[in-house]
A and B are shown apart, each in its own frame.
Chain A
Amino acid sequence: MKAEKKTKIVKTIRIDVDQCNGCRACEVICSAVHAAPKFSSNNPARSRIRIIRDPLRDIYVPVLAGEYTVAECAGRDKYMIDGKEYDECSFCRASCPSREEFKEPDSGLPLKCDMCEDEEDGPQCVKWCLVDALIYEEREEEVAEDEGPETLEIGLESLADKYGLETLMETMARMAKKG
């Protein structure tokens, strides 16, 4: 049976690194809008957007804070784009032990972009970026509603193949008892 489709809104900030002038206004306003009370202070070290910048190498990458991760990647790759070398982390949104980005400076607690959901006019970094490096877009995406169970079955099958169905069931029962 074919899965039922439904649409959802995906909030997107289209980041045009060629337009970025490296001014960090996005960091300024982000930290101000998330201050408590709102706008009462600002501090780019608290911002949930960072410009990874290396002016002499013409590298300007605005990155929005994503999920927290407990461990850094095992390997870190390099990307060559238009003759410029980027560290993989330049594009990574994680608050990660490997770097100081996206952590509260005092507590070290991770920061995450909330797309300024409390602001009527959307993400403030976009509003403050007059050079159009950040453009807010909403797009509709079709997602299969019952995709979840199907995917789960495929996953469980592969585990059963690997460990045997019996071991898998025993493990599940033990996990269920633990709650």
Chain B
Amino acid sequence: MRYAETGFNLEIDLTRGNIEKVATDPRDTELYLGGLGTNAKLLWDRVPPEVEAFDPENLLIFGAGLLCGTPATGCNRTIVSTISPQTKLMAFSMMGGFWAPELKYAGFDKVVLRGKSSELVYIWINNDKVEIRDASHLKGKGAVETAELIQKELNQPKAQVAAIGMAGENRVYYASIEQGRSSASRGGIGAVMGDKGVKAIVVRGTKDINIAQPAEYLGLCNEVLEYIKYREDHPIPGVMPILAGLGSPQEMKVHDEKWHTENFMWGNSRTRRKDFWNDEIAEEWTKTMEDSRTRLISCYNCPMKCGATISMPGLPTYMMKCFSKLTYTMAAFSDLDFGLRIAQKATEYGLDGFSTPQVMAFALELLENGILTDDDFPGMPDDSEGRFYWLLDRIVRREGIGDILADGTYWAALKIGKGADAYAHNNIKKTEQLPLKLSMLNPIYFLMYSTGEKMNITQIEGQFPQAPFPKREHREKFVEDWIQVPDDRFKQYFLDWEPRGENSMPFYPTVPMVCDIVDWQERMHYIDDALGMCAGLSSFPLKPPYHIHNYPKFITSGAGIEMDEEKLTKAAKRYRTLVRAVNIRRGMRRADEAPPENHWKKRFPELETELLDAYYELKGWNNDGIPTTESLQDLGLDYVSEDFIKRGILDK
């Protein structure tokens, strides 16, 4: 019997309309766990580097994490992996919500799509009964609207629907897949779904998920619940409110936006408005939020309330989470009312809330600077809000300038030429980043930004405080109950970290310490992504309930796979390296691993070189960021090194 996982993938060939239930190899679970890990293995095995995002041979994989569907609180993530049209690398955007557990209850760990359907279809998985159904009547419909229509037409209010909007249908490079209150937004995976002709995947499951050692497993689950309660009563002192508790940053709950509005950049990630926040704005925005927010809501089996149902007067209801609350507002130099209104439209269109506002602000900056002209924007209104709506409508339809902008700032700048690339200034690996421009280089963030392959800093950072605490006594207090550290040396790194003086950034933490810290933070995210655990209860916040010490026990008692910290660390390293291998084979190299040039004012080129050198070495990668034969063999990835040698990527 298989525990925690079902042991079956659903393979669908859209070109032929063929549907197969395929048993998976339990040895792969042991090596790559599940979710992202086994997704990466499938992409390595079956999608060679010659295959492009919109080729029928590209796979679009919806993977439920290994522990999804078990009683582990907050374990509900679907990891969607494919080749991205935007980066041409592996995308592995994730979503919470309710879809992954439902898939497990239907008896599958993954849905693997290949080929292309000539007509728009949706896939209906009702336990073992799987159908490819006509979706021509859903063409152009919003993602939220589509979910409702399908639930109604199937008479299945409990079915979970992952759907694309018009952006995905028209292959916008930053189109999302929307599902309930969540979305998988980064890397243009919605565009790949649209390219495959799939409007939605609908799941209903009523089967059991089995647990290997029931009493032990539930004991662990109860400990986690107790710890969540404890952390709710004990927010971390001395950090800003959104970092003090658990969950995603509580953007739907918190009204004080002084920090974001005055520290993040407005427009095309350009303008800092240092004295923006005042009582009047605070009052107005609070009222906007309270009038429109009907309820704070959660994902499956999780007590955190990171999302909200939003009903703006005159607009259909939608669900929002986290920072998309402010991205449109700030890109358009507008207010929260506008931000919540345009987000409704963007959610129905199915668009990434980080990239989209920035692409539009980028276009307007090009217009301001004469690189684009009024002729490129025929009929566009004069006001900022009107312009954003106008651009949004054109992007999702790929009309006129919208067709160019639909490829994101990097590719649009290439097409536009005339120096437009200087305005696509906030990208890493061709992907728009959070609008942050800071002063002093932070060596920890430098490494995370550079070497991250998730393209989103919130999915890389966490665990280690973002900045030193001013007073030693506060630091001493902080480390007292810091049980999550893999080793006590991390406490020492933090204790000695000062805001100023010798032990301050950028030279403290020292290079080896920085590597150690980044490696830990990244490892925790990768473990979450294989297990299906939400980063909000694990790798993202300070002092989370899940950590390297209890995770092995969860895997042992839940999935019945003997696990300890060392073995888990090695497994995470194995599929992390495999993700890199997929990307290396697709041409990614050290030259691609850089934060935006203007991310920090004060840069330290020598130190940055040293950081990358040291981190690559720690990771077992050569100086160009390629995993070495030796490290690949150590991880049991001999097949990767053989392929690298055959392709001339590594020498014999």
* A interface residues (Cβ-Cβ under 8 A, vs B): 21-25, 28-29, 32, 35, 37-46, 54-58, 60, 100, 105, 128-131
B217 interfacial contact with A, CB 8 Å: yes
Would you call A28 and B211 a contact (CB within 8 A)? Answer: no
Q: Does B301 contact A25, Cβ atoms closer than 8 Å? A: yes
- Proximity string of chain B (288-323) to chain A, C-beta cutoff 8 Å, 1 when within and 0 when not: 000000111111111101000100000011110000
Among A23, A46, A55, A105, the residue within 8 A (CB) of B302 is: A23
27 interchain pairs, CB-CB under 8 A: A21-B296, A23-B302, A23-B303, A24-B98, A25-B301, A25-B302, A25-B303, A32-B214, A35-B208, A37-B214, A39-B71, A39-B211, A39-B214, A39-B218, A41-B210, A54-B157, A55-B180, A55-B297, A56-B148, A56-B309, A58-B294, A58-B295, A58-B317, A60-B295, A105-B206, A130-B303, A131-B298
CB of B225 within 8 A of CB of A128, answer: yes
Query: Which residues from chain B contact A29 at a C-beta distance below 8 Å?
Result: 71
Give the distance to chain B from A100, nearest Cβ to Cβ, in Å. 8
A46 to B208, CA, bound (A): 9
Q: With a CB–CB cut-off of 8 A, which chain A residues contact B299?
A: 23
By a CB distance below 8 angstroms, the chain A residues around B214 are 32, 35, 37-40
B484 in the interface (beta carbon within 8 A)? no
Q: Is the CB of A131 within 8 A of B305?
A: yes
Given contacts A21-B298, A42-B71, A54-B157, contact A105 B207 (CB under 8 A): yes
Across the interface, do B303 and A43 meet the contact criterion of CB distance under 8 Å?
A: no
Determine how close the nearest CB of chain A comes to the CB of B393; give it in whole angstroms.
23
Q: Is A39's CB under 8 angstroms from B302's CB?
A: no
Task: Tell me how far the C-beta of A148 lies from the nearest C-beta in chain B, rounded to whole angstroms.
Answer: 42
Residues of B contacting A40 with CB < 8 Å? 210-211, 214
Point out the residues of chain A lying under 8 angstroms from B538, CB to CB. Answer: none
Query: Once the chains bind, are A130 and B229 in contact (CB under 8 Å)?
Result: yes
Partner of A55, one of B105, B181, B215, B301: B181
Taken together as a complex, chains A and B put the C-alpha atoms of A32 and B295 apart, in Å, by: 28
Distance A29 CA – B144 CA, assembled complex (angstroms): 29
Q: B215 is contacted by which of A24, A39, A41, A105 (Cβ under 8 Å)?
A: A39
- Asked whether A43 lies within 8 Å of B105 as measured between CB atoms, the reply is yes
Query: Nearest Cβ distance between residue B142 and chain A, in whole angstroms?
Result: 12
Q: Are B305 and A21 in contact (CB-based, < 8 A)?
A: yes
Query: Do residues A41 and B208 form an inter-chain contact, with CB atoms below 8 A?
Result: yes
What is the distance, in angstroms, from B101's C-beta to the closest C-beta of chain A? 8
Between A28, A29, A131, the greatest number of chain B beta carbons within 10 A of the residue's beta carbon is seen for A28
Contact A130 B105 (CB under 8 A): no
Q: A37-B214, A130-B228, A131-B305 are in contact. Are A42 and B297 (CB under 8 A)?
A: no
Residues of A contacting B218 in the complex (Cβ-Cβ under 8 angstroms): 32, 39
User: Is B167 an interface residue, CB under 8 A from the partner?
Assistant: no
Name the B residues within 8 Å of A23 (CB-CB): 298-303
Across the interface, which residues of A come within 8 angstroms of B295, CB to CB? Answer: 21, 58, 60
Report B-chain residues with C-beta under 8 Å of the C-beta of A128.
225
Residues from chain A with a CB closer than 8 A to the CB of B181 are: 55
Residue of B nearest to A38 (CB): B214
Which chain B residues lie closer than 8 Å to A42 at the CB level? Answer: 69-71, 208-209, 211
**Contact residues in A for B211 (Cβ distance below 8 Å):** 32, 39-42
- B192-219, CB < 8 A from A: 205-211, 214-215, 217-218
CA distance A143 to B180 in the complex (A): 47
Please give the distance in Å from A43's CB to the nearest CB on chain B.
4
Residues on A with C-beta less than 8 A from B296 are: 21
Partner of B309, one of A28, A32, A44, A55: A55
Residues of chain B within 8 A of A100, CB atoms compared: 158
Interface membership of B81, Cβ < 8 A: no
A128 to B225 Cα, complex, angstroms: 8
From residue B69, how far is it (CB to closest CB) to chain A in Å?
8
Neighbouring A residues of B217 by C-beta, 8 Å: 39
Task: Answer whether residue B629 sits at the interface, using C-beta atoms and an 8 A cutoff.
Answer: no
Not counting A45-B205, A54-B157, a sample of 15 additional A-B residue pairs whose C-beta atoms are within 8 angstroms of each other reads A21-B298, A21-B303, A22-B298, A23-B303, A25-B73, A32-B214, A35-B208, A35-B214, A39-B215, A44-B105, A55-B180, A55-B319, A56-B317, A130-B225, A131-B303
Complex CA gap A100/B232 in Å reads 36
B-side contacts of A55, CB under 8 Å: 180-181, 297, 309, 319
B293–chain A nearest beta-carbon distance, Å: 11
Per-position 1/0 for B219-240, Cβ under 8 A of A = 0000001001100100000000
Report Cα–Cα, A129/B305, bound state, in Å: 13
Q: Separation in Å of the A66 CB from the closest CB of chain B?
A: 20
Which B residues are in CB contact (< 8 Å) with A35? Answer: 208, 214
Give the distance in Å from the alpha carbon of A100 to the alpha carbon of B158 in the complex. 10
User: Which chain A positions have C-beta within 8 A of B69?
Assistant: 42
List chain B residues, Cβ under 8 A from A39.
Answer: 71, 211, 214-215, 217-218
Given A32-B218, A55-B319, are A43 and B208 neighbors across the interface (CB < 8 Å)? yes
| Distance in angstroms between the alpha carbons of A40 and B215 in the assembled complex | 8
CB distance from A104 to the nearest CB of B (A): 9
User: Which residues of B are found within 8 Å of A28, using beta-carbon distances?
Assistant: 71, 301
**C-alpha spacing A24/B301, complex, angstroms:** 5
Give the top 5 A-B pairs by smallest Cβ distance, nearest first: A39-B214, A45-B206, A130-B303, A105-B206, A41-B208
A44–B294 CA distance with the chains assembled, in angstroms: 26
- Chain A residues closer than 8 Å to B205, beta-carbon distance: 45
**A105 partner residues in chain B, CB cutoff 8 A:** 206-207
Rounded to whole angstroms, the CA-CA distance of A57 and B309 in the bound complex is 9
Query: What's the nearest-Cβ distance from chain B to residue A122, in Å?
Result: 14
Q: Write out the residue numbers on chain A whose beta carbons fall within 8 Å of the beta carbon of B215.
A: 38-39
